[in-house]
Every structure is written in structure tokens, then in C-alpha cells.
Amino acid sequence: MGKAEDTKARIERAALVLFVARSVAETTTREIALAASIAEGTIYRHFPSKEQLALDLFLRHHRALAEALDEAQRPHPSLREKIEAIVRCYCDWADRDWTLFAYHLLNQHAFLARVPDDAPNPVAVVHNVIDRAMTAGEIPRRDVGLAAAAAIGVVLQPATYKVYGRFEGPLAAHTGFFADAAWAVLAVTEK
Amino acid sequence: MGKAEDTKARIERAALVLFVARSVAETTTREIALAASIAEGTIYRHFPSKEQLALDLFLRHHRALAEALDEAQRPHPSLREKIEAIVRCYCDWADRDWTLFAYHLLNQHAFLARVPDDAPNPVAVVHNVIDRAMTAGEIPRRDVGLAAAAAIGVVLQPATYKVYGRFEGPLAAHTGFFADAAWAVLAVTEK
DNA sequence: ATTAAATAAGTGAGCAATCGCTTATTTTCA
DNA sequence: TGAAAATAAGCGATTGCTCACTTATTTAAT
């Protein structure tokens, strides 16, 4: 890694940690520089603005997660297996870099509107998988967005509570339960 | 309502709308004053600081929601009925004042750590209900926090996506599905 | 009941501090 | 040696909050 690239990576990591501990708005460029052991002006050699740095961080992770989830589900034929693959991939992703994961989770409301329409999207991946399973008759047909949201919530809410400090240990420890529960949600038949 | 109380309420409502549209950090006291049609200094006759105003707003709603959920579930004997009552109460609460609901949802990570330990807590209500149902043998015994989080996610994730603008219409329209899905999550038996 | 005194509520110009970002200068290294 | 990278000082703008003052409401005294 060249020196410039190393500096850029240090800025990104320092910013990430501070953005999660406080928030983007409450983190100053001076703090980022101090944490990255560089001068404040150096940030602007690598990023046009603090907001763009925050957005870059979000979008890169957003796209990479979507691609990883899509690759994970693709080889499997049945919805049940796709769910397991997606859940496992998601938990591994979160455990591998928890700070980055937490940043992505806590700042969706700020950046989701700025994701390009054609960019890979984690929710769209799940949405498509569920839609095809409904068409194939694997699960009952209902509002896809609603079903996807509820199934995603089964995994995302525990993850959120781990960010809040309510849980310890790796998220992947509960992969089995998450997959079973997500499947149960999708298989619900209105009584 | 006295004049002073009316002013205080106007400040709170103006702040709430701006806090949701932007964020607490990105909303200025000048904007709040302008939106509430009062002088900036008047804010400080009613609140010691912008942060305390934001915290007051959060804590009051947090407590009221917890009490409403607890009252809703109390009269019902079975878990299945308690779930339905809690889901219905929660959806009605959200639909009744969506701005306040969105504010509470989007700022949990900022304020949850500042909730007094003995204060009523929406998650604790669900937690207790599930714990008792496990003890009574109504559902399989497993980590209560995890089961509660997953069940809550079934409702909260769709609600979050509605805040993001992915859904339209009242949340209460899906009460039946939410209750069925939450029940399905809790009834999951590890295979 | 009337007036005087006291308190509370409301105002808005302005302050000290801080912010994101720029620029002139120095260092690094191929 | 020249361009890229990093630095440190600093600029204009904005921020939360204060404060001296005015206006409205409540309490007390005659």
C-alpha cells in the first residue's frame, strides 16, 4: 500500500469510529485529523468534504454488502436455503467489521435516499428472492415489501440491539434461529 | 391551556418536526424559534438547553409508550392475545402521531442510554411477556432477549421502512400479519 | 376594589466559541 | 528536481446560549 493510500485509509477508519461513537454531524474534522494523526487539511486532499467522506463510506459498504448477499443466495435452489445463506452472509459481514456494520445500520435514514437507483441494494436482493419464491408457490403470496421488511427485521433488530449494547458475542452465533424465524415469518398463512 | 403552556407546546412541536426532517444536531435554535413563531431566547425560558429539549421529548414518549403497551397486554391471559394487543396498541400509537413516533424510532441510539433504569420501557414490557410465556410453556424456552428482539423486529422494521418512505398508508392496516408473524417467530422450534 | 409590588414570560441583539474548509508553505520521495 | 502529499495557520460563517430590557400575569397590601 502506497503512503497516500495508507493516509486515506487511516482517515476513513478514524472517521468511521468517531461517526459511530458520536454521529457524523457531531464529529468535527479536527477530531478526525487528531485520531488519524494527520493535519486537518490533509482530509481535503482525499475527500472534497466531510459529508462526502461520510457518504463514500456508506455507499461503498452498501454496495459491497448487496453484492455479497446476492452471491451468497444465488447458488441455492430453494427459498429455505437462500434464507440460510443470506442470514449467514449477513451475520459474518457484521462480525467481520462491527464498526463499519454499525455505521451502516445507524445512518441508513441519512443516506438511503442518496443511493443511486441502479446501485446494488441489500433490501432489493431480499425483495427479489422473496418475490420469486412467491411466484414459485414456495410461500403464500402477499405484499412483497411488507414480507421482506418483516423477515429482515428478524435479523436486523437483534443486530441493532447489539449495537446498543444489549447483546454480547458474535451475531453469527444465532444464524440458525434467525433463519428459522425469517422462514416462519414468510411461511405465515393468514388465518 | 395557559399562554405559557401553549408556547412551550408550540416550541416542542416545532422542534419535533425539524428534528425528524433534519436531525437534532443539524437543527438550529433559530430555526425552532422561527417555526414556533417566538423569539430564540424564549426557548430558554422553558428548556435549559436544546439537548434537554430533545431528551425531554424522547423520554416522555418512551415512558408513555411503555405504559400504553403494558396496559394493553395486561388483561389478556394467553401470549397469543397479548401479542395481538401489543401489536395493535403499537400501530395505533404510531399512526396517531407519526412525527413523534418517527422521532422516537430514529433517535433511540442517541437517547436509550439516558433512560433511567427504573423508568417504564417498551422493550422490557415485551421481554417480560415473553419470559412468562416461556415459563408457562406456551412457547419453547430460549434466550429471552434474542426472542424479544426478533419478534419486535417483525413490526419495527416495516415501521422503519415507512419512515424511510418505502410504505404508505397506516401501519395498523397490517396488524394481523404482524401478530401472526411475531407469534410464528416465538413459536419456532429449533430443528 | 384598587393599586402597588413581585414574579414570570417574552424579546432580539450580540458574544464567545467552534465549525468546515482554504491557502501558503514545507516535506517527502520517485 | 519537480510534482505530490502533508502541514499549520487562519478565514468567514454559523452556532448555542446570554443578558439587559419590555410586557404580561399573579400576588399582596391598603
- pLDDT mean over A80-84: 98
* Model confidence pLDDT, tens digit, residues A17-66: 999 999 999 999 999 999 999 999 999 999 999 999 999 999 999 999 99
CA atoms of A15 and B5, how far apart (whole Å):
42
What pLDDT is stored for residue A191 in this prediction?
A: 58
pLDDT of residue B190 exceeding 80, the answer is no
Pairwise CB contact (< 8 Å): B188 & A181 = yes
Does A3 score more than 60 pLDDT? yes
Mean pLDDT, all residues of chain B: 96
> What is the reported pLDDT for A5?
77
Closest chain B residue to the Cα of A153, Cα to Cα: B153
Chain A residue with minimum CA distance to B146? A158
Q: What is the mean pLDDT of chain A?
A: 96
Domains in chain A: ranges and CATH: 1-47 (1.10.10.60), 57-187 (1.10.357.10)
Mean pLDDT over A8-17 rounds to 96
Instruction: Indicate the residue of B109, B145, B188 with minimum beta-carbon distance to A180.
Output: B188
Q: How confident is the model at residue B5 (pLDDT cuts 50, 70, 90)?
A: confident
For residue B146, which amino acid is it?
Answer: L
Using the predicted structure, report yes or no on whether residue B2 has a pLDDT greater than 90: no
Residue A4 has a pLDDT of 66
pLDDT at B6: 86
Report chain D positions within 7 A of protein CB atoms: 4-10, 14-20, 24-26
Nearest to B153 among A158, A165, A177 (CB): A158
Chain-centre distance for alpha carbon B109: 12
The Cα-based distances of B43 to B15, B38, B104 in angstroms read 10, 8, 21
Proportion of chain A in helix, strand, coil states, percent, rounded to 5? 75, 0, 25
Residue B78 has pLDDT above 90, yes or no: yes
For residue B27, what is the nearest residue in chain A, using CA coordinates? Answer: A25
Question: How many CB atoms are located within 10 Å of the residue A32 CB?
Answer: 25
- Return d(Cα B131, Cα B133) in angstroms, integer: 5
CA angle (B57 as vertex; B54, B61 as ends), nearest 5: 145
DSSP state string for B10-71: HHHHHHHHHHHHS-TTT--HHHHHHHHTS-HHHHHHH-S-HHHHHHHHHHHHHHHHHHHHHH
Q: Please, which pLDDT band fits residue B16 given cuts at 50, 70 and 90?
A: very high
Region A71-99 average pLDDT:
98
- The CA distance from A167 to A175, in Å, is 15
Helices B175-187 and B144-163, axial angle in degrees (round to 10): 150
pLDDT score recorded for residue A6: 87
What is the phi-psi region of residue B56: left when phi exceeds 0, alpha when psi lies from -120 to 50, beta otherwise? alpha
Q: How far apart are CA B83 and CA B98, in angstroms?
A: 22
Tell me which protein residue sits closest to nucleotide D24, measuring alpha carbon to C1'.
Answer: B3
pLDDT over threshold 90, residue B85 = yes
Confidence at residue B191, expressed as pLDDT on a 0 to 100 scale:
58
Q: Provide the pLDDT for residue A10.
A: 96
**Residues with Cβ within 8 Å of residue B17, at least 6 apart in sequence:** B35, B99
- Cell 422473496 belongs to A130
Arithmetic mean of pLDDT, B34-60: 96
Beta-carbon contacts of B126 under 8 Å, excluding residues fewer than 6 positions away, are B69, B86, B148, B151, B152
Residue B118 in contact with residue A111, Cβ under 8 Å? no
Cα–Cα separations (whole angstroms), residue A30 to A18, A27, B16, B185: 11, 8, 30, 46
Compute CA distances A165 → A102, B82, B112, B142, B191, whole Å.
11, 27, 10, 19, 29
**Locus of grid cell 427485521:** A153
Q: Which of A25, A157, A163 sits opposite B153 (nearest CB)?
A: A157
- Res. B89 pLDDT band, cuts 50 70 90: very high
pLDDT tens readout for residues A168-181: 999 999 999 999 99
Interface contacts A/B by beta carbons within 8 Å: 114
pLDDT at A149: 98
Predicted confidence at residue A1, as pLDDT, reads 47
